[in-house]
Structure formats: C-alpha cells, structure tokens
Amino acid sequence: MAVRKVSGLLLDIDSTQDEQGLACIRLFLRTGKGIECFTDPDFRPYFYVLCDDAAKRKKELEGMEWQDANRKVRLLKAEAVEKANAGNALKVSFKNTSDLTFVRGEIRKAAGVKETREYDIPFAKRYVIDKGLEPMGYAVVEADAENRALRVACDRERDEAVKRLRVCCFDLETLSPGRFSDPKRDAIVMISYADADEQHVFTFGKKVKRDYVTVFDDERGMVQALVDKIKEKDPDIVVTYNGDSFDFPYLKERCQRLGLKFDVNADGSEPVVRQKGMDKAVKVRGRQHVDAFQIVRLLARLGVLDLVKFDLEAVAKALYGEEKEKVKPEEINQAWDSGKGLERVADYNLADAAYTLRIARDYLPLTVEMAKLTKQTAFDVSRSSTGILVEYLLIDKSYRNNLLIPNKPREEEVEARAEKSFEGGYVKSPVPGLHENIAVLDFRSMYPSIIVSHHISPDTLNCACCKGLDKHKAPTGDWFCDKRQGFFSSLLEDILNKRIEIQKQMKAVAKDTTEYKVLYARQWALKILLNSFYGVLGYARFRWYSRECATAVTAWGRHYVHEVLQAAENDGFTPLYADSDSAFLILPREKSEDDVKKFAKKVNEALPGVMELEFEGYYRRGIFVTKKEGGAAKKKYALMDFEGNLTIVGFEYVRRDWAQIAKETQKRVIEAVLKEGKPDKAVKVVRETIERLKQGRVPKEELFMYTMLRRTVGKYEQVAPHVAAAEKAIKRGKDIGVGSVLEFIITKSGKTISEKAELAEFVREGDYDAEYYINNQVVPAVIKIMRELGYSEQDLVHGGKQSSLGAFT
C-alpha cells in the first residue's frame, strides 16, 4: 500500500461518523495540493472514571449496557491507566461522541464509581491535544491512498504560517427600506472583495463609474461571482467584519432564495451558522472564518483600543488615525433607487473590505500565535475569552504531564464560590493637594511574579512536607511547597521565561520584518495569558479555582507594597500613594532620581525569586484631590514629568460617561495648574466654558455622553438617563441591543435628568440643558482640582477671588 507523507498547515479539525457509526476525525491541511482533508478513523472519544478498584470495575463496566427507548449503548473498552495525580483511573472509550454523551451521566451511578473526569472536552480538541498538534501550525501526516491518516504529528520545524497565509475579505451592502435589512426580502446590492492581490466591488443592473466595479445582470450573478471568487482564491482564512452576525447569515439566506449554492467551505459544503451563547458564529469548514469585529473587541478589552462605537469608521480612526467616510443605510437606499451617487457607495463598500483586510494583516499574527499556544483553532481563539484560553492552555499542559484535569464546578458550587469574595490589593490614601518631585516605583508583573516566586499552585498548597517552613508561608497562613514548584506556578514560569527569550530574539531582528511581527505577536499572546492567570484563580467557574491561592497572591502583594513604603520612609522618602503594585514617593530636597534607583536596587536584592521593583518614572509635579464626601480620593491623580507630559488617571477626563466639554475643561485646568502653575488662568478657562454653555452655542459633539446599555431596558430597577433615552428611542422604532454604547444628551425638555435624556441622533443642535452641563458636568469636574488650590464653587461660577493662593510655595 502506498503511503504518502505530507506536511501542511493545520487549518481545521472536526469530526463525523462513518457508516458503522464510528466517530471519525477530519483534519484539513493546506498542502501543496490545496486544502486536503485527511481522516483518522482510529481515534475514539473517551473520558476517565475514578473508582474504588480499577481492575475489578473494568470488567463490570465493560459488561454493562445503558439504554432508553431508542438505543442501547456499551463501552468500547475500559482500560486502567496510571495518572500522576490519581489512582484507580479507568479510561473508557466509545464508538462515537453521542454514545459518550449518553453514558457519561449514567455511569456515575454504577457500583464502585466515585467520579468521572474529562467528559466535556470536545472531541476535536481532545484529538489535537492528545496528538500534540498545533492548529495554525504545521502537521505531518502519513496517509494511505484514501487519505486516511496512519500517523499524525506536529511539524515544529516549519514556522512560516503567517507569511504564507491566504487571506480574503468580503463585505455586503444591502437594502434597508425604512427598517433593518431582512434577507428574506431585501436584496444585496453590492459586495466588495479584497485579498493581498486584488480588490473588487460587484454590483448589478446599475451604472457605477469606478474601474474596480463589475456590474452583473442581476443579484444572482453578483452573488455567484463572490462565491466563484472565494472558491478560485481558495483562502485559508476568510475575514469579515461582523460576518458572524450579519454578512454570512445574510448571504446564506440570499443564496437559498436565489437558488445558489453557497459552497465556499473547503470540502464544498456550505458555512454553518452556530449559536454561541447570545451571539452567532459562522464556521467555514476546512478554512477558518475570523470575524475581525471579535479581534477589535479583544483589542478593546486589552486596552489597546478605546472605542465607544465599533463600526469600521471608529476602528480606522483609532487604529490607523485615518478618517473613513460613513455612508448611512438610508443613503445607500437612496443611491440605489435613484442610481445617483453609487460611486460613493462603492468606495465605501470597498473601503470596508480593505480595512477589514488591514486589521486582519495586522492582528492575525496574534490570533495565530494564540492558537498555537492554546491548541485552539483560529476560529475558537478569536471568539474566546481569556479565561477559556488559559483553561485550554492548562488542559493541554495537564495532558503533557499525565495529570487528570479537574471538572468544571457544578452550578451550586459556582454560587457558593461567588458568594464569598476575597481581599484584593492595597490602596494607600494619598495626601490631597499639589506635590513636587514624585517618584513612581512599581512591581513588574506583580501577581504573576508572586505566583512563580512563591510556588503558588493548587497542588503545592499546604503540603505536608513544608509545614512550619516560613519561606513560602503567605500572610494568610497558608503555605506552599518549597521542594516542588507546582503545576500552575511552573507553567507560569515557563511562560515568563519564554517571553523573556522572545523579547531577546526580537532585539536581533529588524522591526519591519515579518519575523519581528511574528515574535512580537508571540510575546504579546504570552503576555495576555500571563496577565490572566491570577484572575482565573479566583474565578468561580474555573476548573483550577483556589480561593487559598488567590488570597495568598493578593496578601503577598499587600505585604510587599507595605514593605516598600516602610523601607522608603526609613530611607528618607515620603510615601505619598500606593495602588496594588505601585509606590509613589516624594523626594526630599537632598535626594535625586539616582537615589530612588539605588533604593529600588536595594529592595530588589531582598525580594524573592523573579519579583522585581521597577523605577517607573520621576515627576515634576502631581495633584491628588479630595472626594466629594471628604477625605482623600484614591485612583484619581494627575502627574507631569520634567518634559511637561501629563498623565491623567481616574479623573472624569478619562471617563466616557462624561461630556467632552467637561473633560476638556478639566484637562485644561489640570494643565494650567500643573504645567504653568497658574490657577487664575484655570479659573478663566472655566468661566469661559460656562459662558459658552449659557449662550447655547456649544455644538452637540461636545455634549455627548456615552454609557453602555448592559441589560434589556425592562430589567432595570432604576431608570438611569441612558436607559430612559433608550426607552424613548425604542418607542420611536429604533433597535437597541444589550451591550450597545448609547450616545446621549441632556436636553431642555423634561423635569428629571432622565426625562431630559435623549439619544444624540434625535436631538437638534442647540437643544441642551445649559444648567445641567454647568452644574452637573463642568463644575464638578473642575471644582475638585480648584478646591485644592483654595477656590470655591462661587469663585468659578461668579466673580470673586482672582489672586493665586501661592499654590507652590
């Protein structure tokens, strides 16, 4: 029998059943021949059973039969296995996944069975982990003439995935006659397509004067052209923007209506729309469908992007600083009906696909690296939370270490865990007012480094061998093994070291190369995982949840920050403020930046393991303020370095739920005070703003406030302004979904603020409540700063005090 050995990019993995009802894994690889599908009919779904006596129960279980009205199921086999963290484990296998699902609940009732494990690892993921494969990495397959895989292994030698990835994007424009587009009724009027080599817009029946536009006779011809184009280009990855919830489902429905086959999957089948939680997700079998919208959402969660709206216009601006013209749905309808201005629509349509392609080009490397690290497909990675990614990283690592994976907690357990919160970081009350010569120190990746340095892991917790030893005894009283690093902790250390190694490699590579971009993406993926480890330890649904570990981490964190503050004071610095992993120190006249660095060095010599205190910066001036209710405000301050650069933290200026006019005024006040030391100028700025508001000439944009609608309108106990605005808009026929960020204004009409609140699009220029914006926005934002300089509200709003109060003496 001829055996062929091929290496290819592992794009997709799923499973089917053969004629005999046996589960069969399918692997989709990009080889020299295109995307080839290989099957592995010999891998069986399984899970583990922990029992009192493995040898005895093996026979019993193999003899058992489970049945209902429709079927009878038996195990394929049960085999005793040695696991590093459990005795008497049986690995029980099944013909297929539905048999497994049928039996997994029942088998717990069998005599001698104590527990079942790993019964909820999806079959295809199970295969990837057990075979040591890497999705979006290369795999070597030895296959017979029918493409049955006889051997499968990861091909770590090859690493050119990102360079060679075939990516294509498309985007639809549809008709929406006075309502949201409905694929059952409304036609697609334009489709843009973009890949590395070509860009097109397809339309039908109209004249469009653009050379990149191809005009077809009808919608059917146009849609067919897209389908043909995708099949011709045979991409590894199809990227859309919002394709999960819009473009793909819409296309699918249209194809059905038009009698077209939407056969763009690598095996010639059609994409499937899956329900994923509250959202949809569209799978293109054999290839990967990545919705760039999900990538953008991830970037927003990571703080790379600060977005209110997630449309491509906002993204283009935030990511690339470029203005992209928006063409509204009604404009598209109008252009289509009149046949005029279709060039503008085509430009817009093409720009959508082009920007989507650009986002893909820039951020697919991160997806690819994350896929390889966590053994998930690009499809899954781009739609997963960091919690899920960490979980799969640990699942894979468990398998490699022959460890049995803990089960997901039951719902009662989740509730019980969530009920008891735990103490977090320490925040020191600052001294309100103006300060000069402030040094900021912080612990580099504090929580990860505590976990690594103190061997924090569920399996090293309170070990018998280290009882009474002080070395890894947390302030909580729990201790961790000194002899063993622990599963969780050692994995974290590996990641930490790997990242340092990659960062070293990056220094030897030119920045504009693909190699650099890949390395950058790799260390970034590691950083994301690194920073999620502590969070999941205290996450109620996490398999490896450990309250003891989570509390030990924060307790040590508080301990070390206190130590630094104390040591600083002993050395002649004045501790000003601290938050979780940082320490703000005021330098006395005789001390310099160098002394701070020396101090940090001294601290570092005494710190355990990989923990490190870093010098973050030295600032000329800083201001801390008093809370409205009195007392020093935490998490709110502004610093200015010796070059005049401002850092504003926690103030209204950084909050999206405050109006631009208040934020901008606040910033100018901070600038006047910190940069120029001119509080009287600040007063002038405030008075001018108030005057402008009173005259009613402030444009809408400066008055918008943004707040997310976090639940369905009816589910609120209190109707806040943004909810009231949403209610009114919905009554007018607007469709507002949970999770959308509302842009609203406080208008003149109504009594309460909620009554006055309206979505910005329904408000005409000049219709705003000046009193509200003065008294509830501008004044509260600036008064907290001006108060520190001895000014009162009256001083700002009315005449009064003009002289500076010698703020810097």
CA nearest neighbour of 493 among 463, 539, 451: 451
How far apart (Å, rounded) are the C-alpha atoms in residues 432 and 790?
A: 12
Q: Using CB under 7 A, pick the residue from 108, 711, 734, 798 that binds DNA.
A: 711
Nearest distance, CB of residue 657 and DNA, angstroms: 4
Q: Using CB under 7 A, pick the residue from 784, 785, 789, 796 that binds DNA.
A: 784
Q: Which is nearer to DNA, 72 or 410 (CB)?
A: 410
How far apart (Å, rounded) are the C-alpha atoms in residues 162 and 790?
A: 59
Q: How far is CA 549 from CA 181, 223, 533, 611, in A?
A: 51, 56, 11, 17
Nearest distance, CB of residue 349 and DNA, angstroms: 31
How far apart (Å, rounded) are the C-alpha atoms in residues 380 and 391?
A: 13
Site stretch for DNA (CB under 7 A), options 127-135, 364-372, 487-495, 700-708: 700-708
Asked if 631 is part of the footprint of DNA (rule: CB under 7 A), the reply reads: yes
Q: Which is nearer to DNA, 314 or 388 (CB)?
A: 388
Nearest distance, CB of residue 576 and DNA, angstroms: 12
How far apart (Å, rounded) are the C-alpha atoms in residues 256 and 258?
A: 5
Q: Which is nearer to DNA, 44 or 636 (CB)?
A: 636
Q: Which is nearer to DNA, 20 or 421 (CB)?
A: 421
703-708-711-715 Cα dihedral, nearest 10 degrees = -30
Asked if 406 is part of the footprint of DNA (rule: CB under 7 A), the reply reads: no
Which residues, other chains included, contact 742 with Cβ-Cβ below 8 Å and sequence gap of 6+?
A: 706, 707, 708, 709, 722, 725, 726, 736, 759
Counting residues that bind DNA (by CB under 7 A) gives 72
Nearest distance, CB of residue 123 and DNA, angstroms: 14
Check if the beta carbon of residue 212 is closer than 8 Å to that of residue 350. yes
Nearest distance, CB of residue 611 and DNA, angstroms: 14
Q: Which is nearer to DNA, 520 or 706 (CB)?
A: 706
Asked if 617 is part of the footprint of DNA (rule: CB under 7 A), the reply reads: no
Q: Using CB under 7 A, pick the residue from 706, 744, 768, 791 that binds DNA.
A: 706
3-state secondary structure of 436: strand
Asked if 710 is part of the footprint of DNA (rule: CB under 7 A), the reply reads: yes
Instruction: Provide the mask over 634-673, with x wherever binding to DNA is found by CB under 7 A and - wherever it is not.
Output: xxx------------xx---xxxx----------------
CA nearest neighbour of 172 among 235, 249, 264, 236: 249
Query: Which phi and psi angles does 148 have, rounded to 5°?
Result: -85, 130
Q: Using CB under 7 A, pick the residue from 63, 87, 105, 387 that binds DNA.
A: 387
Site stretch for DNA (CB under 7 A), options 251-259, 312-320, 502-510, 772-780: 772-780
Asked if 384 is part of the footprint of DNA (rule: CB under 7 A), the reply reads: yes
Q: Using CB under 7 A, pick the residue from 376, 476, 707, 747 that binds DNA.
A: 707
How far apart (Å, rounded) are the C-alpha atoms in residues 709 and 77?
A: 52
Strand partners, 67: 72
Residues 512-541 contacting DNA, CB under 7 A: 531-532, 534-536, 538-541
Nearest distance, CB of residue 614 and DNA, angstroms: 12
Residues 305-344 contacting DNA, CB under 7 A: none
Nearest distance, CB of residue 53 and DNA, angstroms: 35
CB-based burial of residue 306 (10 Å sphere; 0-12 exposed, 13-18 middle, 19+ buried)? Answer: exposed
413-418-423-429 Cα dihedral, nearest 10 degrees = 180
Asked if 677 is part of the footprint of DNA (rule: CB under 7 A), the reply reads: no
Site stretch for DNA (CB under 7 A), options 56-64, 226-234, 333-341, 704-712: 704-712
The amino acid that residue 614 corresponds to is E
Residues 426-465 contacting DNA, CB under 7 A: 427, 442, 446
Task: Determine the distance from the C-alpha atom of residue 328 to the mean position of all C-alpha atoms in its chain, rounded to a whole number.
Answer: 29
Nearest distance, CB of residue 388 and DNA, angstroms: 4
Site stretch for DNA (CB under 7 A), options 124-132, 160-168, 243-251, 625-633: 625-633
- Find the angle CA(422)-CA(428)-CA(431) to the nearest 5 degrees: 155
Q: Which is nearer to DNA, 28 or 706 (CB)?
A: 706
Asked if 425 is part of the footprint of DNA (rule: CB under 7 A), the reply reads: yes
Residues 239-298 contacting DNA, CB under 7 A: 276-278
Site stretch for DNA (CB under 7 A), options 184-192, 491-499, 720-728, 787-795: 720-728
Q: Using CB under 7 A, pick the residue from 215, 719, 760, 770 that binds DNA.
A: 719
Q: Which is nearer to DNA, 151 or 710 (CB)?
A: 710
How far apart (Å, rounded) are the C-alpha atoms in residues 124 and 57?
A: 28
Length of the chain: 809
Check if the beta carbon of residue 47 is closer than 8 Å to that of residue 100. yes
Asked if 709 is part of the footprint of DNA (rule: CB under 7 A), the reply reads: yes
How far apart (Å, rounded) are the C-alpha atoms in residues 633 and 638?
A: 12
Nearest distance, CB of residue 243 and DNA, angstroms: 18
Nearest distance, CB of residue 3 and DNA, angstroms: 38
Nearest distance, CB of residue 634 and DNA, angstroms: 4
The full DSSP string for 124-189 is HHHHHHHTT--TTSEEEEEE-TT-BEEEEEE-TT---HHHH--EEEEEEEE--SSS---TTTPPEE
Residues 550-609 contacting DNA, CB under 7 A: 550, 554, 579-582
Site stretch for DNA (CB under 7 A), options 241-249, 594-602, 709-717, 785-793: 709-717
CA nearest neighbour of 555 among 445, 467, 634, 478: 478
Check if the beta carbon of residue 649 is closer than 8 Å to that of residue 681. no
Q: How many CA atoms lie within 13 A of 804 on its CB side?
A: 14
Nearest distance, CB of residue 182 and DNA, angstroms: 26
Q: Using CB under 7 A, pick the residue from 598, 628, 734, 798 that binds DNA.
A: 628
Q: Using CB under 7 A, pick the residue from 7, 101, 503, 776 that binds DNA.
A: 776
Check if the beta carbon of residue 374 is closer than 8 Å to that of residue 389. yes
Asked if 349 is part of the footprint of DNA (rule: CB under 7 A), the reply reads: no
How far apart (Å, rounded) are the C-alpha atoms in residues 568 and 584?
A: 10
Strand ranges (DSSP E) for 563-669?
574-579, 582-586, 613-626, 632-641, 646-649
Check if the beta carbon of residue 214 is closer than 8 Å to that of residue 202. yes
Nearest distance, CB of residue 559 and DNA, angstroms: 14
Q: Which is nearer to DNA, 217 or 629 (CB)?
A: 629
Nearest distance, CB of residue 301 and DNA, angstroms: 7
How far apart (Å, rounded) are the C-alpha atoms in residues 648 and 809?
A: 23
How far apart (Å, rounded) are the C-alpha atoms in residues 268 and 261?
A: 9
Residues 727-766 contacting DNA, CB under 7 A: 741, 752-755
Asked if 421 is part of the footprint of DNA (rule: CB under 7 A), the reply reads: yes
Nearest distance, CB of residue 499 and DNA, angstroms: 17
Asked if 176 is part of the footprint of DNA (rule: CB under 7 A), the reply reads: no
Strand partners, 585: 439, 575
Q: Which is nearer to DNA, 257 or 656 (CB)?
A: 656
Check if the beta carbon of residue 171 is closer than 8 Å to that of residue 243. no
Nearest distance, CB of residue 743 and DNA, angstroms: 11
Q: Which is nearer to DNA, 131 or 636 (CB)?
A: 636
Q: Using CB under 7 A, pick the residue from 627, 694, 697, 734 that binds DNA.
A: 627
Nearest distance, CB of residue 689 and DNA, angstroms: 16
Q: How far is CA 723 from CA 154, 602, 645, 656, 718, in A?
A: 52, 54, 38, 16, 9
